[in-house]
Amino acid sequence: MNRMRKGLLKLSTALLAAVLLAGTAATPPTASAASVWNVYNEAMRLDAQGKYAQAIAKYEQAGRTMAASADYGNAGRMYRKAGEAYVKLNQYDKAVSSWDLESAYYAKVRLTQDSIAVKRKADALRSTVELYYETGLSAAALGNRSRDLAPLEPANGILLGAYAEQDAKVHQGAGGKFYTDEYPKMTGRKHAGYLIYFTYGMKLSAVQSHIDKAKANGTALELGVQPLRGMSEVQDNAYLHQLAKDAAASGVPIFLRFANEMNGNWTPWKSTPQTYIEKFRLVANVFHKEAPDNVAMVWAPGAEPIDNIQDYYPGDKYVDWVGASLYSIYNPSADPLKQGMDRSSHIAKLDTIYDLYADRKPIMIAEGAVSYMYPEKMRDVTDWSVYQTQVLYATLPMKYPKVKAIFWFDVDAQGTTDRVKYYGLSNNAKMLAAYQKAILNPYYLTDVGSGTSLSYAPIAGSVPARKLKVSGYVKTWSPTLGKVVYRIGGKAVATATTAPWSAQIDFAPYKGRTIAIEVSAYDRQGKPVTTQTVKVKVQ
């Protein structure tokens, strides 16, 4: 993956229009250049007349010609117009393909932010189906890893965690309710760890009550260490070494997340990548020396912005786990169909970090949640948030098997931009019920040091000729889905109504044959959304 850069000057609307009319070449237009703009003008005329299919053909012709002459900026704009015309024809898959080309061409001329924005728009309408079946991992398979396990990493499975200290239903402190006791009662399962925040400069004894409860309940702590006075206070000194020694002596597993979300501009510890890397390495060296047995160093950028994440990576030697902050707040303003819906995928926000680092480090969703309110309008969007939460916990074990921990951020809190963020499970019965059901999957682990043999194999190329429990990651332009139907040879063989769309399918009758599994998705009103085909050989 090529490194993407921030700070490129965005063209204004007026400048874009001027560039579009004049072309990007520095030399005067040639006869060929004049010809391609005639094609573009004809496309615009057809578009205005509602002759969208004919307009698309002209936009694409102009785009191909411009790309062939390395006029990538204008080529991208031609495919933007083609995509918009496809939308008018309700041909969303073709619109996505056009916008993918637009994004790629913008990247060629270093219009990085424009490329990212267009890719996000395409992803909102993209239809994807990936199928998996449940299997088990033998002891040999569990031991056959491409790398050694990191500190506190399970061989297989996801450590279940949460931030619950601010939920008054489960935590009162000062001798009252304590979240480590009450959160499992509310959610129905013990959690392997809890996030707490810690200001750099304090003694570890400041959170002694949390340490004592973690020890008593057999849970880990994700210690969110925050240098609120800036990076200059982080020094290789007696304080830091004593902090590490105290952590080692605490008797609990600690995921030490130092100065998270450093790639954003909203934290008090924001700094240059060089300064951040220097300070992270300093802290990592001290903790690796003083607390090698029970402390794991977690490097945790925000999932967004995506274009500067790699700039802040301290290096494999210093990072034990890679984390991410993963949040979604309903935002219909970016709807490519302009129908006032949020069509984004919460779980897909993890893709950049996962693709960059999962092959070498365990991945952790260090904090994250889906808001059940659209704060700008104070509109309840619980159905949307329930769906996104179901998809998150159902999909991680299948599609993202190298995610090894997840911490739900259970808070209804005022945001830094005066937006109240509604993530608290205890204040929304539907969200709590969805969470309770989602975490019943035994793939989610309740103790550091535990594991599971449950696994999911992708259905790609071939499947065994027997009855299988099939599940799927199904992403479409519809914000929510109500039903998925599996068909083989035109005949419906199974139907599922909840993510991950699990169903028993018997492949034995197809042994020795190559078959096409049709996966048809329907919205909650029963209207068809997309049909995708997965071809496999049954062996």
Q: Note whether 194 and 224 are same-domain residues.
A: yes
Of the listed ranges 138-142, 440-444, 482-486, 503-507, the least confidently predicted one is 138-142
Whether 443 shows a pLDDT value over 50: the answer reads yes
Q: CB of 432 within 8 A of CB of 185?
A: no
Domains contained in the chain, number = 3
Distance CA 153, CA 163 (A): 19
Whether 516 shows a pLDDT value over 60: the answer reads yes
Which tokens go with 100?
Answer: 């993918």
Per-residue pLDDT tens digits for 183-193? 999 999 999 99
Distance CA 104, CA 113 (A): 12
Q: Cβ-count burial of 379 within 10 angstroms (0-12 exposed, 13-18 middle, 19+ buried)?
A: exposed
Whether 3 shows a pLDDT value over 70: the answer reads no
Q: What is the CATH number of the domain that holds 468?
A: 2.60.40.10
Q: Which of 418, 453, 488 is the last residue of a domain?
A: 453
Taking residues 192-217, report their average pLDDT. 98
Q: Which of 453, 469, 503 is the last residue of a domain?
A: 453
Is 150 domain-assigned? no
Q: Which of 430, 453, 476 is the last residue of a domain?
A: 453
Residue 216: the pLDDT is 97
Residue 179: the pLDDT is 98
Average pLDDT, the chain: 92
Question: Could you tell me which of 376, 369, 387, 367 has the C-alpha nearest to residue 331?
Answer: 376
Whether 23 shows a pLDDT value over 50: the answer reads no
Per-residue pLDDT tens digits for 391-442? 999 999 999 999 999 999 999 975 555 567 899 999 999 999 999 999 999 9
Q: CB of 165 within 8 A of CB of 196?
A: yes
Q: Note whether 192 and 297 are same-domain residues.
A: yes
pLDDT band at 171 (very low <50, low <70, confident <90, very high): very high
Per-residue pLDDT tens digits for 81-111? 999 999 999 999 999 999 999 999 999 999 9
Is 167 strand, coil or helix? coil
Q: CB of 406 within 8 A of CB of 159?
A: yes
Is 5 domain-assigned? no
Of the listed ranges 157-161, 263-267, 298-302, 495-499, the least confidently predicted one is 263-267
Is 133 domain-assigned? no
Q: Note whether 432 and 467 are same-domain residues.
A: no
Determine the structural domain holding residue 476 and report its residue range: 459-538
Q: Note whether 275 and 317 are same-domain residues.
A: yes
Is 514 strand, coil or helix? strand
Q: Note whether 203 and 330 are same-domain residues.
A: yes
Residue 10: the pLDDT is 34
Q: Note whether 379 and 477 are same-domain residues.
A: no
Is 86 domain-assigned? yes
Residue of 3 and 448 predicted with greater confidence: 448
Q: Note whether 167 and 234 are same-domain residues.
A: yes
Q: Note whether 447 and 498 are same-domain residues.
A: no
pLDDT band at 173 (very low <50, low <70, confident <90, very high): confident
pLDDT band at 11 (very low <50, low <70, confident <90, very high): very low
Residue 32: the pLDDT is 65
According to DSSP, the β-strands at 220-226 and 379-380 are: unpaired
Per-residue pLDDT tens digits for 270-328? 999 999 999 999 999 999 999 999 999 999 999 888 889 999 999 999 999 999 999 99
Distance CA 133, CA 236 (A): 50
Is 131 domain-assigned? no
Q: Note whether 389 and 512 are same-domain residues.
A: no
Q: Note whether 318 and 464 are same-domain residues.
A: no
Answer whether 0.95 is exceeded by the pTM. Answer: no
Residue 414: the pLDDT is 59
pLDDT band at 146 (very low <50, low <70, confident <90, very high): confident
pLDDT band at 34 (very low <50, low <70, confident <90, very high): confident
Length of the chain: 539
Whether 18 shows a pLDDT value over 60: the answer reads no
Element at 196 (helix H, strand E): strand 193-199
Q: Note whether 419 and 532 are same-domain residues.
A: no
| Strand partners of residue 528 | 522
Greatest Cα-to-Cα distance within the chain, rounded to the nearest angstrom: 83
Which tokens go with 537?
Answer: 């050989």
Residue 145: the pLDDT is 72
Is 141 domain-assigned? no
Identify residue 265 by its one-letter amino acid code.
N
pLDDT band at 137 (very low <50, low <70, confident <90, very high): confident
Distance CA 315, CA 141 (A): 28
Is 522 domain-assigned? yes
Distance CA 446, CA 191 (A): 5
Is 359 domain-assigned? yes
**Long-range contact list for 328-331, CB < 8 A, 24+ apart?**
328/369, 328/370, 328/371, 328/385, 328/388, 329/371, 329/374, 329/375, 329/419, 329/421, 330/371, 330/373, 330/374, 330/379, 330/381, 330/384, 330/385
The CA–CA distances, whole Å, from 471 to 442, 448, 508 equal 16, 27, 18
Taking residues 239-258, report their average pLDDT. 98
Residue 419: the pLDDT is 64
Is 476 strand, coil or helix? coil
Taking residues 107-131, report their average pLDDT. 95
**Residue-by-residue DSSP string for 379-405:** EE-HHHHHHHHHHHHHHHHHH-TTEEE
Q: What is the CATH number of the domain that holds 279?
A: 3.20.20.80
Angle, in degrees to the nearest 10, between helices 179-187 and 429-438: 90
Taking residues 47-74, report their average pLDDT. 97
Residue 83: the pLDDT is 98
Q: What is the CATH number of the domain that holds 120?
A: 1.25.40.10
Q: Note whether 437 and 523 are same-domain residues.
A: no
